[in-house]
Amino acid sequence: MYKVKVYVTLRESVLDPQGKAVTNSLNALNYNEVTDVRIGKYMELKIEKSDRDIHEVINEVCSKLLANPVIEDYRYEVEECVAQ
């Protein structure tokens, strides 16, 4: 069993209106030291061992369903763990 942590972020060149709204809210709450917020997704997957390569599976899953490769980048970390 693998525990996979996937981080999906908007590409640098893509505007992030949600992050901008959060920045403005924080400034309105007097946290003026916060100058920029960018919002992404964080996902934890549990994947069972199979005959396919784990990295191949993760890359397919990320590019097909979890991230939109046109506007988003993703990276991931794999931890091997004992099934419970």
Residues that bind a second copy (CB under 8 A): 7-9, 19, 22, 25-26, 29, 31, 33-50, 52, 57, 60-61, 64-66
| Least Cβ distance, residue 79 to a second copy (angstroms) | 14
Looking at the Cβ atoms of 33 and 70, the one nearer to a second copy is 33
CA 8/CA 76 separation, integer angstroms: 9
As measured in angstroms, the least distance from the Cβ of 4 to a second copy is 9
Residue 31 dihedral angles phi and psi, to the nearest 5°? -95, 70
Angle CA(53)–CA(58)–CA(59) in degrees, nearest 5?
100
